[in-house]
A and B are shown apart, each in its own frame.
Chain A
Amino acid sequence: MENKIVTKGLKKSFGQLDVLRGIDLKIAEREVLCLIGPSGSGKSTFLRCLNRLETITDGEVFVHGENITDKKVDINKMREKIGMVFQHFNLFPHLTVIKNITLAPTELKIMDKEAAKANGLKLLKRVGLEDKADAYPGQLSGGQKQRVAIARSLAMNPDIMLFDEPTSALDPEMVGEVLDVMKKLAAEGMTMVVVTHEMGFAREVADRVIFMDDGLIVEEGTPEEIFSHPKEPRTIDFLNKVL
C-alpha cells in the first residue's frame, strides 16, 4: 500500500525546549494510527507538524509524496486534503452549524452554495445531527460540537484525518458518541492519525499504536503487541498508570 504520510528525522523545538527529537514514521493508506503517551511527550506537536500548523525545526514531512516543509508547496491546497479535529472543537461560534460546514468548500470554490449545503446536510446526517443544521455552536453539547467539527473537516473531502485528543475536553458520557463516529470513519477506510488517551479506542480500532515519550517513538506495534505484550519499561510503566 502507498504511504500517505512519511516523516524523516522530524525535529521540533520551542526555544530551548526540544519537543520532538527525530521522528521517523510511515503511515499507509487506510491505516488507523493511534499515538499514545504521557502529556508533554510531543504527540500533539507531532500531529500539528503533519499539516504545518507548526513549522518544523529539522527533518522532512511528506504528505501524498510532497514535501510540505518545502516553501514552494501550496500549503493551503495540501491542507484541503488533510482534515483536522481539535481537542477544543474550534467551531466558528458566529456561524450556524451548516455554515461552519459549508464555509470552506464555498469560500474555496470547490462547491457552489447549494451543493455545499446538500453535502453538509448529508454529513450532518452521517454524524447524527441533521436536526442541528441551523443551531449555533453555543447551543450544542460538547459531544455534538465535536461531531460537527468532524463533519466540517469531512466537507473538504480529505483523504487523511488528524485527531488531536478529540475526546479529552468532553464529559465522560459524551465520549462514546464521538468515538462511534470515528469508528465508522475508520471502517470506511479513512487514513487516520489519532492522538488519544482513550486506550479502549486505540485497542479496538487502531491498526498500529505508537507509544511516544520525551519527543521520541519508544515503541510501536499492533494494539495487541502494545497493550498485551509491551516490551519497553517506559511503555509498561505508562500503561500501568493509565489502565
Chain B
Amino acid sequence: MSIINVISQSYPSFLAALLETVKMTILTLVFATLLGTIIGLLSISKIKPLKFITTLYIDIIRGTPLLVQIFVVYYGVAQAFKPMGFSWNPIGGAFTAGVVTLTLNAGAYMAEIVRGGIESVDKGQMEAARSLGLPYGRSMLKIILPQAFRTMLPSIINQFIITLKDTSLISVIGIRELTYNGKVLAANAVTMVMAIWLTVALFYLIPCTILSKSAKVIEKKVAYGK
C-alpha cells in the first residue's frame, strides 16, 4: 500500500513535522486555556469597560479568518512595530508568531466556553458560597469553576481538536509542521501525491481521535454522585 511506502520512505521528516505540530498545539493550548479563563471571567464581570473590551476582542477574532489573523500578526505586526525595534526573529520567528496567533484565536473561543460554563452553574451556588462568608474569588475557584468545568469539558476538548487542526494554517508562514512537510514532499514527488496527503491526514487523525476518546474517559471520571 502506498501510504506505507510514503511512511517508510519519509518517516523522519514526518516525525520531525509531527513534533512541530504537537509542540505548537501544546503551547497554544496551555496559553489559550489561561487566556480564555481570564477573558471568560472578565466577560462576566459587572464592570462595563471590561465587558466591552472582552466582547470586542471575541467579536474580532470570531469575525475574521484565522489565515488573515496569521498574516496580521506575522507580517503586519512585524512591519508596524519595526520602527520600535520589534522583530519576530530574535524571539522565535514564525513559530512564536504562529503560537501567538493561535493563542489569540483559540483564547477567544475558550473565553466563550468558560463564560458559558460559568453561566450554566445555578445562581444559588454562588449565593450559598457567599452567604457562608467565602469571598467572590474563592467561591468561583472552589464552587463555580469545578462545576462549570464539567459542562465545559466536551467543548474544551472540541476546541483542542480544532486548534490541533488549525496549526496546519501556520504552514503558510514557513513552519515545517505536518502540512508544510506534505507540501514539500508532494512538490518533489512524481507519483504518490494522493498517498502523501493521505499520510498527512492520518497524522492529524490519530492525535485528534486520541483526544476525543480520552474526553469520554475523563467525562466519566469527573461525574459525581450520580
Find the residue from A90, A91, A149 having the highest chain B CB count within 10 A: A90
Verify if A84 is at the interface (C-beta below 8 Å from B).
yes
Interchain CA distance A99-B105 in the complex, whole Å:
38
Chain A 137-158, CB-CB to B under 8 Å as 1, else 0, gives 1110000000001001100100
Contacts of B150 in A (CB 8 A): 94
Say whether, besides A93-B224, A94-B146, A103-B142, A86 and B133 are in contact (CB < 8 Å): no
Which residue of the partner chain B has the closest CB to A86? B124
* Count of chain B residues near A, Cβ 8 A: 21
Which residue of the partner chain A has the closest CB to B138? A107
Verify if B210 is at the interface (C-beta below 8 Å from A).
no
Chain A 75-99, CB-CB to B under 8 Å as 1, else 0, gives 0111110111010101111101000
Q: Is the CB of A92 within 8 A of B128?
A: yes
Verify if B174 is at the interface (C-beta below 8 Å from A).
no
Verify if A53 is at the interface (C-beta below 8 Å from B).
yes
Interface of A is mostly: mixed
Interchain CA distance A67-B124 in the complex, whole Å:
25
Contacts of A92 in B (CB 8 A): 125, 128-129, 143, 147
Interchain CA distance A179-B83 in the complex, whole Å:
74
In the complex, chain B residues 131-152 whose Cβ is within 8 Å of any chain A Cβ: 131-135, 138, 142-143, 146-147, 150
Q: Is the CB of B127 within 8 A of A80?
A: no
Q: Is the CB of B133 within 8 A of A76?
A: yes
Contacts of B147 in A (CB 8 A): 92-94
Find the residue from A103, A107, A137 having the highest chain B CB count within 10 A: A107
Contacts from B to A (Cβ < 8 Å): 122, 124-125, 127-135, 138, 142-143, 146-147, 150, 224-226
Besides A79-B133, A84-B128, A108-B134, 9 other CB < 8 A contacts? A53-B131, A79-B132, A84-B127, A90-B128, A92-B143, A107-B138, A136-B224, A138-B224, A153-B131
